[in-house]
Structure 1
Amino acid sequence: MTARVRGDGGPSPADAGGVRLLVDDDTEKVSGRDPAREVLTSLLLLHRVAADAGPAVVRVFSPEPTVAFSRRESLHPRFSEAAAVACAAGYLPIVRPAGGRAVVLDADWLVIDVIHPERDRGADAEIFRARGEQFVGLARRWGVDARLGPVPGEYCPGDWSVNAGGRVKLVGTAQRVVRGARLFTASLPLRVTPGARRLLDRVNGILDLPWDPVTAGSLADETAVTEAVVRADVTAFFAGVDARRVRLHDLIADAAEALAALSGDRIVTSS
């Protein structure tokens, strides 16, 4: 059964009472990290939770420079051109496990993954709505006029985006469901650099994805909240104060081999 989530920014009874694992990335402060490993870890954990039927797993991390494409975009006739543009800018092109459209991610973003066991498939739209409202509640705590809903012309458009003042997109969300588990992932820009904005503009243009660059917002544009506070808040909210911290290789002994196998299965695509 899908855990119930409240839309007022407070923890739901199911979230508060469930045991959770918080996966620490012990390479996050190390230069030269592997962006493919970061993205594929989400898929690896999804299958682990599905196989073991829990406990739920949470990750909060800032990725290496990555352009995350959807599987649908990888079939576009000019996808190789878009991937080459990403590589030339120093961003690795990846076909991500969840849905959506192209997103340019780097160390100025936070990615929040929540993976939980699911015996019977829940309603995708309801989970999008409820989780989105939780992010609205968090953003309002940080002083943002946050609202749930898309902004016309936003990148990676979706009905359940979180916006600031109805003007700019602030949080993008996506899901991936397999038998026995669900991945809910959110991307939150702390800042959007001019270079990242230009790259997203070029990639969207190549892939014929209409968007308005002014709709790409960030926390830095809306509030003075610090990155440390944001990290602490999202970790405490989604993992809980009683979450057990684990490292990936302690949780999945053959993680390196499994990640290599996923890479070879064309989940990661580079020019």
Structure 2
Amino acid sequence: MEDWKQLFSGTVRYIDQRGKSARDDAIASFAYDDALAISVGNGTSPPTARLWVHDKTIILGIPDAKLPNVDAAIQWLEQHGYQAVVRNSGGLAVVLDAGVLNLSFILPDAKGIGIHEGYQFMVAFIQDLFRNLTTEIKAFEIKGSYCPGDYDLSIGGRKFAGISQRRVKNGSAVQIYLCVEGSGRERAELVRQFYGIGMKGQSNKFEYPEVKPETMASLAEMLSIQLTVDDVCKWIYQALKSVSTSITEQSLDNAEQQSFEKRLEQMKDRNIKALGI
């Protein structure tokens, strides 16, 4: 496929939705990406970058909602101030907080762009984004991390980011969480304990990850620099601006708002069915 610079060489839509923290806002994030994927896929919106941050939220995959003791595990999370949300894209449990930046690239032509190409598109962008700080970002599965996958991003064998992908009609949302600041180890320990409570020593057909906290770290920790989510957001904007002919920050139009409302209800229904909430 085209590299990220070519695909973003025309008009790029940029939506910064940071600052939300409630559980319903996290649910809404996935509905936003669906609505945008529909309009980007049908050509009524240019390729889009959306930034989002949700504090103290655990995003679960469908298999996580089927843990034998999931109710107790979620109650434990809530006692520690975390809300749980089941997503509509692939993957397993990940931690979101104020130090974790989520970036969604909403791309057209899902039928012509392979799934692996979508992942590689995001990998190349992140490698370029941090090239002035490190050239050691690699993409391969980090055993012992939470939500492990072939496109885990790591430096020196410690993971700081994971990528998922959601395809809606002819558009696709490639989503990445970036552990920018804070303790990657503490986030991993939270997920490790969540699985421990959720399994409660029982066997299960699904193989949940055996999380080893030492396999995860934030970018600030690994690069030994003062790095913030705000810094990375500025760099993302500058990177897009450097290759695009123009950047628009248009909010949802009427058709997108209607798609969003429909997809939001679907997300709420998904969570009610999965978690009973």
Q: What range is the shorter-chain TM-score in?
A: 0.7 to 0.9
Question: CA–CA distance in 2 between the matches of 1:47 and 1:79?
Answer: 33
Question: CA–CA distance in 1 between the matches of 2:100 and 2:106?
Answer: 19
- Please state how far the C-alpha of 1:47 moved relative to its aligned partner: 3.2
- Please state how far the C-alpha of 1:266 moved relative to its aligned partner: 1.7
Letter in 1 for 2:239: F
Report the secondary structure of 1:118's partner residue.
Answer: coil
Greater Cα offset, 167-176 or 67-76 = 67-76
CA contact (8 A) 2:13 2:247 kept: yes
Q: Residue 203 of structure 2 corresponds to which residue in structure 1?
A: none
Distance change >3 Å, CA 202–CA 47, structure 1 → 2: farther
Q: Residue 269 of structure 2 corresponds to which residue in structure 1?
A: 265
Distance change >3 Å, CA 219–CA 81, structure 1 → 2: same
Q: Residue 247 of structure 2 corresponds to which residue in structure 1?
A: 243
Question: When the two structures are superposed, what TM-score results if normalisation uses the length of structure 1?
Answer: 0.82
- Please state how far the C-alpha of 1:106 moved relative to its aligned partner: 0.9
Overall identity of the aligned pairs, in %:
21
Distance change >3 Å, CA 134–CA 257, structure 1 → 2: closer
Question: CA–CA distance in 2 between the matches of 1:186 and 1:146?
Answer: 14
Q: Residue 14 of structure 1 corresponds to which residue in structure 2?
A: 7
Please report the RMSD computed on the Cα atoms of aligned residues, expressed in angstroms.
2.8
- Please state how far the C-alpha of 1:118 moved relative to its aligned partner: 1.2
- Please state how far the C-alpha of 1:78 moved relative to its aligned partner: 2.8
Question: CA–CA distance in 2 between the matches of 1:136 and 1:81?
Answer: 39
Q: Which of 29, 53, 57 is the equivalent residue of 1:62?
A: 53
Distance change >3 Å, CA 73–CA 21, structure 1 → 2: same
- Please state how far the C-alpha of 1:88 moved relative to its aligned partner: 2.1
Question: CA–CA distance in 2 between the matches of 1:141 and 1:50?
Answer: 33
**Which structure 1 residue ranges, 5 or more long, are not aligned?**
6-10
Q: Residue 128 of structure 1 corresponds to which residue in structure 2?
A: 119
Q: Residue 233 of structure 1 corresponds to which residue in structure 2?
A: 235
Letter in 1 for 2:222: E
Question: CA–CA distance in 2 between the matches of 1:92 and 1:117?
Answer: 32
Letter in 2 for 1:252: E
Correspondence 1:105 to 2:106: no
Report the secondary structure of 1:175's partner residue.
Answer: strand
Report the secondary structure of 1:68's partner residue.
Answer: strand
Greater Cα offset, 94-103 or 225-234 = 225-234
CA contact (8 A) 1:163 1:169 kept: yes
Distance change >3 Å, CA 64–CA 47, structure 1 → 2: farther
User: What number of residue pairs does the alignment pair up?
Assistant: 260
Distance change >3 Å, CA 31–CA 97, structure 1 → 2: closer
Q: Residue 149 of structure 1 corresponds to which residue in structure 2?
A: 140
Question: When the two structures are superposed, what TM-score results if normalisation uses the length of structure 2?
Answer: 0.80
Question: CA–CA distance in 2 between the matches of 1:250 and 1:225?
Answer: 41
Distance change >3 Å, CA 37–CA 204, structure 1 → 2: same
Report the secondary structure of 1:93's partner residue.
Answer: strand
Correspondence 1:116 to 2:114: no
**Which structure 2 residue ranges, 5 or more long, are not aligned?**
200-207
Question: CA–CA distance in 2 between the matches of 1:210 and 1:32?
Answer: 29
CA contact (8 A) 2:146 2:188 kept: no
Q: Residue 252 of structure 1 corresponds to which residue in structure 2?
A: 256
- Please state how far the C-alpha of 1:31 moved relative to its aligned partner: 6.8
Q: Which of 158, 178, 183 is the equivalent residue of 1:188?
A: 178
Distance change >3 Å, CA 12–CA 199, structure 1 → 2: same
Greater Cα offset, 133-142 or 62-71 = 133-142
User: Over residues 212-267 of structure 1, what are the superposed CA-to-partner deviations in whole Å (9 max), with x where a residue is unaligned?
Assistant: 11111101112215323311112333575522012347773447743652343224
